Amino acid sequence: MRRFPVEVPESVAKGEIGTNFVQTDESTGKQGEDPILMLHGFDSSLLEFRRLLPKLGELGAEAYAVDVLGWGFTDLASGEIKSFGAEAKRTHLKAFWQQAMGGRPMVLVGASLGGAIALDFAHEFPEAVKKLVLIDAQGFIDGSGPGASLPGPLAKLGISVLGSKPLRSLANQMSYTDKSLATEDAVRVGRLHTMCDGWADASLQYMSSGGFAVSTKVPSINQETLVLWGRQDKILDPKLYAERFVDEMPDARLVWVEECGHVPHLEQPDETAKAIVSFVKDGNPAKEVCGTCQGSELQACYNCDGLGSYKTYGVVVTCKACRGSGNILCRSCFKGDPWDIKAARTRAEERRKDGLLGLRNPPPLDAPDGFLQ
């Protein structure tokens, strides 16, 4: 772990902020490839990437993990820091990127709330972010929760509970699918930074500031984006949030991490590292074209025996049984519920009768129901 003196505007702090970060061996980075910067989740630290960073280094990536202002082991106790809110965190992150990383366009990785911070940063400073990686990211839950409106004494009590061992142990258990990883050591590592001077005041100020609100920014973020999500996440429901990023972002692809909860970077670091490095090198695959309307937004594969569950690639949904070789329909072909297969077939037949299709592969009318489980 290293500490870098980051100069920030006086609106954030007087003087420099000692900022903790780690990076892969400088000799392992491949020339010409974009650096990777990783942002941890709410009230966490760069130690969250203790398993992922070495894996990225083994694959030849130039990767950094930094403590977000107000959390981790970055300076909290100087008394010269004026704000720990969202704007201050964004300003501090930009200064770190410019001063410690040389201002090179980067691949920004955000886990959980770190995803919201990454989205916010990419929206405000698009020149800084070449690509985005969102790991079980918070993007559609705005604000810092009910703590923002609590009276002072209750808010302080809430902060003390936040740092307590029982709450951290519960969060630790919820984060993993493989409970053998939810160890006492993991709890100790996860709350180590809460013992730093100034942690409680910094956390209280962030909570009262209102936090990050990025849900309305998501559709306007144009960077190529990889969405990684633990299939068994019990903290941020994949059914509510994972595919929503793909639906709302112009250029996003979803990759499921199997047998994994909320923290793929801790529970499945090998798979997570491989997915990130592949994305950095090759980007997202080209989008396929809808066989019905020749559009580019795909929703369903029809040449399926109904045995396989669907996977999402970019905005493409295919089933395991046919691996995407079957006929497909996009959102513009649907009426009503976008997952209503019968309605989709009816709409396709109407378009066929109207002579509007000119299809390469019109969807079969006998496609099975219920394969999108």
Distance, C-alpha 44 to centroid of its chain: 15
Active site residue 11: no
Catalytic entry in 112, 175, 203, 209: 112
What totals of helices (H) and strands (E) does the chain contain, helices first? Answer: 11, 12
Q: Which residues pair with 19 in a beta bridge?
A: 4
Query: Phi then psi for 148, rounded to 5 degrees?
Result: -65, -25
Burial class for 41, CB neighbours closer than 10 Å (0-12, 13-18, 19+): buried
Tell me which long-range contacts 4-8 makes (C-beta under 8 A, separation of at least 24).
4/96, 4/99, 4/100, 6/92, 6/95, 6/96, 6/99, 6/100, 7/95, 7/99, 8/91, 8/92, 8/95
Cα–Cα distance for residue pair 270/264, rounded to 1 Å: 9
Active site residue 262: yes
Q: How far are the Cα atoms of 134, 201, 312, 358 from residue 326, in angstroms, in the given order?
A: 29, 57, 15, 17
Catalytic entry in 43, 67, 136, 233: 233
Q: Are the CB atoms for 292 and 358 separated by under 8 Å?
A: no
Catalytic entry in 40, 92, 193, 262: 262
Handedness of CA 37, 43, 46, 52 (dihedral sign): negative
Count CB atoms within 10 A of the CB of residue 21.
Answer: 22
Distance, C-alpha 233 to centroid of its chain: 13
The residues annotated with a catalytic role in the active site are 112, 233, 262
